[in-house]
Chain A
Amino acid sequence: QQQVKQSPQSLIVQKGGISIINCAYENTAFDYFPWYQQFPGKGPALLIAIRPDVSEKKEGRFTISFNKSAKQFSLHIMDSQPGDSATYFCAASRRNTGKLIFGQGTTLQVKP
């Protein structure tokens, strides 16, 4: 049973454009929603995370939008750069369980 569904599977964006990746979750007990970025041959690294008490969090060019009623959250990458080309994973967990449930991943390619 896939508790976190991520889309699209792949995304191609022109340099300077906006990249948008969406995730939907099922378990209403989830209260922590991070995004991880992974470059080929490397482990993922935390990019940005949000808790359900806010609807948006911004760090530089990266923004998470969170819709608790719809059980959806999304990552927006503004002014996308070729260096942003990577695989992005959303995830969800219940606080302090240490058990992150990951989405299927989105491979982003930013064309120069």
Chain B
Amino acid sequence: DGGITQSPKYLFRKEGQNVTLSCEQNLNHDAMYWYRQDPGQGLRLIYYSQIVNDFQKGDIAEGYSVSREKKESFPLTVTSAQKNPTAFYLCASSIVNPANEKLFFGSGTQLSVL
């Protein structure tokens, strides 16, 4: 059953703590993305990667870090530098093809601050 798996579904962060959100895909997609969703603000791009071992900052990368060591995995770390981390985080993937730009999304991780 192909798709994108995000874990955990709910995550709580203490002050000064780094937390890592997991994203795994078995769709054999080259590109992967992290979006942040806040009520009334839509989805904003944090980081994206179009190939293994390479990634680019999106519009709101400050306070976040990523790695892309494997094609299937694109974990996101929310660092202590991110002062307002409470949000719904969505991971997505796609093929790299100008004729087909469909994003496939996971079910998201809700991050809250204790």
Query: In the complex the two chains form, what is the Cα distance from A99 to B61 in whole Å?
Result: 13
Partner of B58 from the list A41, A45, A99 (CB cut-off 8 Å) is: A99
Q: In the complex where A41-B108, A96-B96, A96-B98 touch, is A102 in contact with B103 (Cβ < 8 A)?
A: no
Does A93 contact B101, Cβ atoms closer than 8 Å? yes
- Which residues in B have their C-beta under 8 angstroms from that of A49? 101-102
Query: In the complex the two chains form, what is the Cα distance from A105 to B107 in whole Å?
Result: 17
Does B111 belong to the interface (CB within 8 Å)? no
- Min CB distance A1 to B, Å, is 9
Interface string of A33-55 (1 = CB under 8 A from B): 01010000111111001000000
Interface residues of B (CB under 8 A from A): 4, 31, 33, 35, 40-45, 48, 50, 58, 90, 92, 94, 96-98, 101-103, 105-108
Given contacts A43-B92, A98-B50, A98-B96, 18 further A-B contacts (CB under 8 A): A9-B40, A42-B107, A42-B108, A43-B105, A43-B108, A44-B90, A44-B103, A45-B105, A46-B103, A89-B42, A93-B101, A96-B98, A98-B94, A98-B101, A99-B58, A100-B101, A102-B42, A104-B40
